[in-house]
Each structure stands twice: as structure tokens, then as C-alpha cells.
Structure 1
Amino acid sequence: MLRKLEVLSLIAFFGFSTFSFADQVTLKNGDRLTGTVVKSDGKELVLHTDAAGDVTLKFDAIQEIKTDAELHVTLKGGKTVVGPVTTSDDKIEIATKTSGTVEAPKSDVTLMRNDAEQQAYDKSLHPGLMHGWDGGINVGFSVARGNSQTENLALAFNAMHPTLHDKITLYASSINTTNNLATPSTVASLEQGGFRYDRDLKPKLFVFGAADFMANALQFLDLRQVYTGGFGFHAIKSNRTILDFLGGLNYTHETYSNGTLLVPATPPNPAIYESYGKTNRFAALTLGEELNTTLGKSTVLTQSAGFFPNLQQTGEYRFTFNLGTVTKLNKWLGWQNQFGDIYVSNPPTGSKSNDVIFTTGLNISFTH
């Protein structure tokens, strides 16, 4: 009997200890949740629970918060205090180690973070160039045999290095399709790559510089180089959606090779081509928009459009449109779909103005 009482006492002790060291949130409707307060922006509060994972609560719907762990609380005016938090009615109390209990109206709370969130935030302010990267690699491959003998390989890479006030973006992609019949031919051959640097001037205004490169064998484009500078505006910037508008100037340098061979060279007569190589150098406008939004819990949609009118040859322009989705299958693996349209108003003779591309395949994400 005594042995049973000892066991029950230990269970009660550890159960009470576990309960007492958990954070508690009481809602205005009387519901009480137990877990760990993760963060709050003054509008919503994220509570991590063992049973349901992360639970997001409306801050206005909360009657009382009581934490045993320290929280980093930022109040209006920028003051930050650290300590366990207790709220009642419309007042918040933070029991600091150095300044005693700090009281403030609950409406003055602009941010709350636990230690892990605060450490991640502090690290994001000044990450080294070798840290803080997020990105992914897309892979798609197909083979057809029978009436056709085609092979298609699509590869893409993107990486982003965001900090509190700036962002570096890198990207590269390649699509190559060949038909290996009696007369082999290239069905598609398109390579793109580039980088961009954004720097915030104000919460909604930023300046950017970019360099983009492209080669397209079917348009006889050996290389197009575009160097851009301009300003951007964050029309929407939230945790789920970012919508930016871009405007600026660019310098374009593009080199085309000879087109399709019509008549082989017969000395002293030179070969005759459908079109002949040339180099274009000109200034152009850069006008565009970019959208990044989260759909549901596991899908991210990205969309961008760009219009580049030639300032030196009126009526000549380029237009690009991209739309893609990545659906997470687990933490590092996803399924991606990508649609792209590239239009050139003045392609070489024998080539089309429009290239439409659709790829699908696996996405492998990474964080460093």
C-alpha cells in the first residue's frame, strides 16, 4: 500500500511539474490551451501544442496569457523587455531580471518571441554570406521511343539570401530536347541565368540591380546580356503574400548567329543563309511585377511578368511571363510545375517570335 502511494505521489509530482512549466492561454470564450508561446505580432499569437502542433490565435480573442519561459516583448516605441509574461484584462506584465516587473497596456504589444524565435531573428539581421540561403533544384526528364526518339531534360536552380533590409537572388535554368531520328535535330535548347540585389529604402520602397543572361538556339540567339537598375514597390508584403512592382532602365547586348543554311558555299561563292548574324546594343525600359503567395499549407505559387520596350528602336520590345507552383511532399522534396512565355518582337528571319515552355518534375529544396 505504501509502495502504491509513493508511485502515485511521483506521478502527481511529475505531472504537476510538467503542467506548471507549460505556458497557458485562456480565450475570452473560456477555452484554455496549454503549450509553448512561439511568437506574436500583436494581431495573432502562435502557440505550439503537443496535440495539435502550432495553433494560431487571434490576439483580440485572448483573455489571459501566462508563461513560465521568458519571452522577448517589444512595445510601441521600440522598447524590448525580456521575462515571463502575465496578462489580465487589458494589461501585460513582464517579470524582468534587472528592472523588476514592467507593466504596459496589452494593446502596446507589437512583437513577442520565445528564445528560439529571437535567436533566429537576430541571426537573420546580419547573416554571413555563406549562411541564410534558401532555394531549390528542379529536375524533369522524359524519353520517347517508337515513331519518335526524343529526349528531354529540364534543370533549374534558384537561391535567395534575405536579410532584414536586403536580398540576393540567384537563378539558372536549362531546357534541352533532341530528336534522334535518321536526321537528328534540336527541338528545344534554352539556357537562362542571372542574379539580382534588392535594398530597402523604406518599408515599401526598394532599389534593385540585376544581370540576366539567355541563349536560345532555335532563335539563333548566341547570348543576350541585360543589365538593369531601378526601383521597386512592395504593394503587398505579408507572411503569405508578396506583390512587387518594378520599374527601371536596362542596357541590352545580344548576339545572333547565322540562320538556317540554304545554299552551301561553293568557292568562290559564299554560303547563303536564311538570316545573317548580327549584334544589337540598345537601352530599354524595364517594367514588371512579381507575385509570391502561399496556397493552403503546402503549395507556393510564383508569377512574374516583364515588358522591355527598346528606347532606340520604337516598336521593338521583349515580353516575358512565368507562372509556377511547388507543392511540398515533405520537408525537402516537392513537385513543381512551371510555365513560361518569351516573346521577341523582331526575331531573325526564319525563327518565331514566341517560345512557350512547360516543365514539370521534382523540386529538391535546401536551407543553409
Structure 2
Amino acid sequence: MAQDKAAPKSDVIMFTNGDQLTGTIERGVGDSIVFKSDTAGEITVPLSKIKELRSHGNFVVIQKNEKSTKVTRHPGALTYQDSTVTIESPSGTPETIPTKNLAYIIDQTTYDKEVAHNPGFLHGWNGSISGGATLIRSTQTGTSFNAGIALIRAIPTVTYLPPKTRTTFNLLESYGKLTQPVIPQTTPPTPPSEAKTSIFHTDAEHDIYFNPRFYALGELSFDHNFAQGLNLQQIYGGGFGWTPLKTPVQQLDLKADVHYEMQTFIQPNPITVDNPRVPDQNLIGSTFGEAYHRNLPGKVVFTESASILPAFNNPDAYSAIAAAGLALPTYKRISLGLNATDNYLNMPAAGYKKNSFQFITSIVYTLK
């Protein structure tokens, strides 16, 4: 007969006022711990209000003068008393840390996955997929759609540990085609006219953090914009980023890079003396940009970004981009996306406008 497994033992907090609480230690940050119990839920308790703490789980303590990515520890049982945290060691000599030196208390599972080992490339991805479409079937025939992917991989995946790396990937495609017949029709018949829109953007960035606020970055991006006569723009570069504002509600990033930029343009058909070939651009320039994220009431998410890209070897060939969006929750992981994007290209192909503005509504599915 199978034996029922014994229920796991609870951790116990004894407060300085004599009260006692049982539950589970989740983590510790600075001079406070996060404790979860059936009666009080998840609460944050300053260690100054605790007389004694006994845990039956295994934990690792990172001190303030240590970098979490460079620490090798053996998890052990945790106790707290007299303003000192003690971690039992397999070697038999316990490790004692004064409260003033505490940086993080990490459970064994999180330590093994997020600190002691480098997670695989497929681990930790989060983000969203969006899409929308419009069909017209009448005298006019029209089809338009938009699709987007926004992915982010932040390591560690737990937010309370200092960041090590961050990888982002974005893709956006807007395509439309409208066919209009000639009315009244001529003899012989005149082919219908077509109007086409195709705007494509994709980018990827990898950040390596020196500290929680400052990081180095490498990036690449590809753009195609039929509305500006841009056949393909390629950017490859590297630089630095700074996060001056970071809270659970909002985050602001400032970035600057040096990059190589190549632009090829849609050519006139046919190419003649009156319609010469549009020369390609090979540019060395920089990107100066900012990105802002804020969680609004009702789980509404606001995002905004803006960048300007000057070119050093051709000052007239500068460009800029600005975007803003709202994600309005509707049902579980599904939300309504409202997004506006403005692209500016100071030297588009001949006959094309410099500015390209889009306002897109879409259905957004959040992956996690």
C-alpha cells in the first residue's frame, strides 16, 4: 500500500510583540523578507520586527558587497535571531550574516535556475503577438492586414534580482492593396488601377548589464517602407544604455549607439535620363533614443519611444521615428491594441514624401 507523503513543514516567524505566524519564506530583499501564509497571504516583513525565524527550506544569502552572478553557494536551512541570519552549511560550519549586510535571500530552486546556471536560449521569453485585417469585396477590391510580434527575454526572470542580460525582438508588418476599376470602362478595356501599401520593420537588441542601471548593447534592424520609396534599410550597431527610472509601475531607458546604415530605394521603371536611378546610401551614424513603459490603472499598459538617427558622413540623410501605444485588457490574455507610429526619412526616393504615419488597431495576445 502506498504511504501518504508527510505534509511539508511550515516556516515560523516569531514577532517581537510575541505573535507567531506560520507559512513559507518566498525571498528576501535588503532588510525585509516576503512571507506567504494561509491566514495573511503574501506580506513583506522588516527583519527589525522579527524576534526569531526558522525555515525548513534551503536558501542562499547574497551580501551587499557581492555580485550575484559571481557567487557560488551551497543552499542550506535558514534561521534568524539577534539581527543575524544563519545559513546551515553541508561542511558543518554555518554562515552568519548581519542584517546590515544582507542584499538577497534566494530559495534553492531560484538560485539553481537563475544564478548558478546559465539558462538556455529558449528560456525566459515573454511578450505578445498582435494582428488585424480588413477585407473589401465590391466594385473596389481591397485587402489590408497588420501583424506584430514583440518579445523580451530578461535574465534573471525574477524581477527582484539585479539584471544580467536582456534580449528583445520586434516585428511589424502593415500591408494593403486596393484595386479600382475604370468607370465607365473604355474600349479597348483599361486595366484597373492598384494602390499598394507595404511597411515592414524588425529589430533585435541584446543588452549586457554592468550594474542594474547601466548596460552595453548590440543591435540590428531592417526596414521596408513603400510609402517612402525605401526598398530596404539595414542598421548594425552597438552602444550603451542607462535606466534612470525603474519602479514596478514604470521604466525609462535612454540609449545611444554608433552604427552602420545602408539604404536602398525603389527604382523608377523604366530608368531613363528623365527618371535616373536613385543612388544607395552607405552611412555611418548614431541613434539617440528613449523608451518608456508604464502600467496604468485597470491593467492598461502604455508604451512610448522616440529616436533620432543623424548621419556623420551625410548630414542631410538623417531620420527619426516615434511610436506610442496602449494595450487595453479585454479577456484574460487578450487585449485591444491602439498604436501610432511616425517615420521620418529626410532623403526619401524621388517623388515620395518624407513622412509616413500609421495608426493601427489590433487584437493582442500576451504570451505570459
TM-score between the two structures when normalised by the length of structure 2? 0.76
In structure 2, what is the equivalent of residue 6 of structure 1? none
- Alignment match of 1:253 (pick from 256, 262, 277): 262
Separation of aligned partners in 1, 2:14 and 2:362: 46
Separation of aligned partners in 1, 2:292 and 2:169: 17
**Residue 191 in structure 1 maps to residue 192 in structure 2:** no
Alignment of 1:105-120 (within 5 A): 105-120=98-113
The C-alpha deviation readout for 1:164-194, integer Å capped at 9, x for no partner, is 5333332221011232443454353101113
CA contact (8 A) 1:231 1:247 kept: yes
CA contact (8 A) 1:44 1:56 kept: no
**Residue 141 in structure 1 maps to residue 133 in structure 2:** yes
Separation of aligned partners in 1, 2:27 and 2:133: 42
State the shift of 1:342 in Å: 0.9
Partner of 2:114: helix, strand, or coil?
helix
In structure 2, what is the equivalent of residue 10 of structure 1? none
Describe the shift of the 1:44–1:331 C-alpha distance in structure 2 as closer, same or farther (beyond 3 A).
Answer: farther
Alignment of 1:318-333 (within 5 A): 318-326=319-327, 333=334
Describe the shift of the 1:157–1:352 C-alpha distance in structure 2 as closer, same or farther (beyond 3 A).
Answer: same
In structure 2, what is the equivalent of residue 223 of structure 1? 232
In structure 2, what is the equivalent of residue 63 of structure 1? 50
Partner of 2:56: helix, strand, or coil?
coil
State the shift of 1:246 in Å: 1.6
- Whichever residue aligns with residue 87 of structure 1, its letter is Y
**Residue 168 in structure 1 maps to residue 133 in structure 2:** no
- Alignment match of 2:10 (pick from 16, 22, 44): 22
In structure 1, what is the equivalent of residue 62 of structure 2? 74
Alignment of 1:81-160 (within 5 A): 82-88=75-81, 90-99=83-92, 101-122=94-115, 125-143=117-135, 150-160=142-152
Describe the shift of the 1:26–1:150 C-alpha distance in structure 2 as closer, same or farther (beyond 3 A).
Answer: farther
In structure 1, what is the equivalent of residue 189 of structure 2? none
In structure 1, what is the equivalent of residue 186 of structure 2? none
CA contact (8 A) 2:227 2:356 kept: no
The C-alpha deviation readout for 1:116-151, integer Å capped at 9, x for no partner, is 32233236x512234333333222223456797543
Separation of aligned partners in 2, 1:84 and 1:327: 44
Partner of 2:91: helix, strand, or coil?
coil
CA contact (8 A) 1:144 1:150 kept: yes
Separation of aligned partners in 2, 1:26 and 1:344: 65
State the shift of 1:22 in Å: 1.9
**Residue 306 in structure 1 maps to residue 307 in structure 2:** yes
- Whichever residue aligns with residue 205 of structure 1, its letter is F
Partner of 1:361: helix, strand, or coil?
strand
Describe the shift of the 1:105–1:327 C-alpha distance in structure 2 as closer, same or farther (beyond 3 A).
Answer: farther
Separation of aligned partners in 2, 1:49 and 1:329: 32
Describe the shift of the 1:46–1:28 C-alpha distance in structure 2 as closer, same or farther (beyond 3 A).
Answer: same
Describe the shift of the 1:332–1:349 C-alpha distance in structure 2 as closer, same or farther (beyond 3 A).
Answer: same
Partner of 1:213: helix, strand, or coil?
strand
State the shift of 1:331 in Å: 7.2
- Whichever residue aligns with residue 351 of structure 1, its letter is Y
Separation of aligned partners in 2, 1:315 and 1:271: 24
TM-score between the two structures when normalised by the length of structure 1? 0.76
Partner of 2:123: helix, strand, or coil?
coil
Separation of aligned partners in 1, 2:84 and 2:213: 32
Describe the shift of the 1:26–1:195 C-alpha distance in structure 2 as closer, same or farther (beyond 3 A).
Answer: same
Partner of 1:129: helix, strand, or coil?
coil
- Whichever residue aligns with residue 86 of structure 1, its letter is T
Describe the shift of the 1:90–1:320 C-alpha distance in structure 2 as closer, same or farther (beyond 3 A).
Answer: same
CA contact (8 A) 1:249 1:285 kept: yes
Alignment of 1:268-307 (within 5 A): 277-295=278-296, 298-307=299-308
Describe the shift of the 1:70–1:191 C-alpha distance in structure 2 as closer, same or farther (beyond 3 A).
Answer: same
- Whichever residue aligns with residue 199 of structure 1, its letter is I
Identity %: 21
The C-alpha deviation readout for 1:17-68, integer Å capped at 9, x for no partner, is 86x9222445667775543211121155333344676x24153674243322
Separation of aligned partners in 1, 2:334 and 2:174: 21
State the shift of 1:258 in Å: 3.6
Residue correspondences, number: 341
Structure 2 residue ranges without an equivalent (≥5): 156-162, 182-191
State the shift of 1:279 in Å: 1.4
Separation of aligned partners in 2, 1:105 and 1:172: 49
Partner of 1:67: helix, strand, or coil?
strand
Describe the shift of the 1:364–1:29 C-alpha distance in structure 2 as closer, same or farther (beyond 3 A).
Answer: farther
State the shift of 1:365 in Å: 3.8
Alignment of 1:321-360 (within 5 A): 321-326=322-327, 333-360=334-361
CA contact (8 A) 1:63 1:89 kept: no
Greater helix fraction, Structure 1 or Structure 2? 1
